[in-house]
Amino acid sequence: MTDWWRGATIYQIYPRSFQDSNGDGVGDLKGITQRLGHVAYLGADAVWVSPFFKSPMVDYGYDVEDYRQVDPVFGTLDDADEMIATAHRLGLKVIIDMVLSHTSNRHSWFQESRRDRDNAKADWYVWSDPKPDGSPPNNWLSIFGGIAWTWEPRRQQYYLHNFLTEQPDLNLYNPEVQDALLAECQFWLDRGVDGFRLDAVNFLTHDPELKDNPPRPAGHPDTDGVKPENPYNRQLHLYDKSQPETRRFLERLRNLAELYPDVLLLGEVACDNSIERIAEYAGPGGPLHTGYSFALLKDDFDLSLMRENIDAFSADDSQGWPAWAFSNHDVERVASRWGGQSAPPEFIKSLIVLLLSLRGTVFLYQGEELGLPEVDIPYDLIVDPYGLNFWPEFRGRDGCRTPFPWTDADPRAGFTTVPPWLPIPNAHILKSVAAQENNPDSILSFTKAFLALRKEHPALRIGDMAFHEVGYRHICFSRQSGGQTIVVAQNFGPTETTLPAPFEDVEPLPFDGLTGALRSHVIHLPPHQSFLGRVRPFAKS
């Protein structure tokens, strides 16, 4: 067994939008296989592929109808095997999304469970009688809007769904359900995947007494990953998720994973106290290897809050090994979220430096290496149910899910030969791979070079991390491993600044594209620029 994932860079692929191989306007597994060379060229260590299982696609794959079938829009099981084998030939690990807290309401398990109260799967989902007045059993809310309960007339009961009505929650208090889910995971481990990104892992179990959640106190932070306008934030979610049985199931999953070489178990954790929950699941002795946090996926670019979240993992290993991302398929693209629609390339490159210099496993979302901005999707083209429910205050997730631009030579960006499932704006075509790959000053070239630097220097991959005191919109930290110490200083402000060098014997670490400079133990940083330095052995702080 190796800890290959420590310090690794994992590239997230959203299958619908990576590459269409059959001309239907939707990306697929053969398309991913055709384009894996780009990920290897970039220098990533692994790919995380979002769900491609059979699904009615109400939530675009996160509503699973059959875990052991590939949805026809994405291809076949043979295509999945080819994708995995090709990735391995290119030196890439393959992590797939496993959605274990809920299924589609079209899954055969649910179709049987909903028939009556006496069938073999009657207790496979979370069912409850109504209150005497016919109302739902408690006050729990769905993240996607409205109450978290839907009436089933055949059983004369409500079923729980923390997300869409079409995504009923499984009952993991039933050992048969746990056994069935472990068998679905084993199916994919036997096919050669190298691990799982466990979707909504803290939603696996609920309070069996179905107690009401209390109101959220005034000023209490919102739930990670949930927009402020969502009424979900009006409750403290003490009882609808994050119960002790979750860890016990994950321990069973870890025991299964230990039967296979080098498998990664990565949990997505979104709750009111995510760092504490990550420590519970992925801390020393925990069942997961690491936890995927929403801490750096927030709307505000707040370096002090960022430092606070990073520091929680950097001081020691009591919270476990961290995992960081600035973008994914659920949030506005980071270039726009933190830099605005016209973020300068220097700002985007500084974000790349910051992300790839952090202690932990880091994730690049497809298109982040191109500096893609968020796409403003017109209302009549929105397909995300989350966005349709909360428009116009929240326009949903389609703007970060648009097809990947491979070339600037055609209006469909080399992604497809027909109208794509979501629009591809000209701004993305101008930032395509073909437009950037031969330009040494491009964001793509910069990202590739910095990934190579991260691999070259153990301090950047696995070293300890310590922050040094600097002012607002500036950040300075050092990474240390063995006898190597690397200093990263950054200015995210609009004017030039100077920062004191944190060590006496700092010298510049040459890297093309960075204009920060060291003069007389003072670091000079133009706007949106970074400085990299290395410390000679035995330097005094």
Going from the N-terminus, what domains does the chain have, and what CATH number goes with each? Answer: 9-103+175-452 (3.20.20.80), 463-535 (2.60.40.1180)
Cα separation, 414 vs 409, whole angstroms? 8
- Residue 522: beta bridge partners? 500, 519
Alpha-carbon distances of 507 from 469, 487, 518, rounded to whole Å: 19, 9, 8
Please give the share of the chain, as a percent, with pLDDT higher than 90.
87
List, in sequence order, every beta strand (DSSP E) within 254-412: 264-269, 290-293, 321-325, 361-365
Token code pair at residue 163: 């997300």
Q: For 114-144, how does the pLDDT look when each residue is reduced to its tens digit (9 = 90+)? A: 999 999 999 999 999 999 999 999 999 999 9
Question: Look-up: residue for tokens 């133009």?
Answer: 526
Do residues 398 and 426 lie in contact, with contact meaning Cβ atoms separated by under 8 Å? no
Tell me: pLDDT of 538 over 70. Answer: no
Local confidence band at 315 (pLDDT 50, 70, 90 cut-offs): low
Q: What is the pLDDT of residue 224?
A: 80
- 183-239 pLDDT, tens per residue? 999 999 999 999 999 999 999 999 999 999 999 999 888 888 888 889 999 999 999
Torsion of CA 267, 272, 273, 274, to 10 degrees: 20
Say whether pLDDT at 539 is over 50.
no
Global pTM value:
0.97
Query: Given CA atoms 102, 104, 108, 112 in this order, what sign does their dihedral have?
Result: positive
Our CA dihedral for 62, 103, 46, 84, rounded to 10 degrees, sits at -110
Q: What is the β-pairing status of strands 264-269 and 290-293?
A: parallel
d(CA 10, CA 323): 10
Residue whose C-alpha is closest to residue 240's, from 181, 285, 287, 200: 200
Token reading at 467: 């922050």
Task: With H, G, I as helix, E, B as strand and everything else as coil, classify residue 163.
Answer: coil
End-to-end Cα distance, the chain: 37
Which positions ≥6 away from 9 have C-beta within 8 Å?
Answer: 43, 44, 45, 46, 356, 361, 362, 363, 364, 451, 454
Beta bridge partners of 323: 292, 361
Q: Measured at the alpha carbon of residue 496, what is the angle toward residues 490 and 500, in degrees to the nearest 5?
A: 55
Q: Give the model confidence (pLDDT) of 234-287 as tens digits.
A: 999 999 999 999 999 999 999 999 999 999 999 999 877 777 888 899 999 999
Which residues are CB-contacts of 195 (< 8 A; sequence separation ≥ 6)? Answer: 5, 93, 95, 96, 257, 263, 264, 265, 266, 289
The 10 Å Cβ neighbour count of residue 122 is: 17
3-state secondary structure of 534: strand
pLDDT band at 316 (very low <50, low <70, confident <90, very high): low
Count how many residues are written for the chain.
541
Catalytic residues: 199, 268
Predicted local distance difference test score (pLDDT) of residue 187 = 98
Read off the tokens for 146: 């409205």
373 neighbors 343 (Cβ within 8 angstroms): yes
What are the tens digits of pLDDT across the range 350-406?
Answer: 999 999 999 999 999 999 999 999 999 999 999 999 999 999 989 999 999 999 999
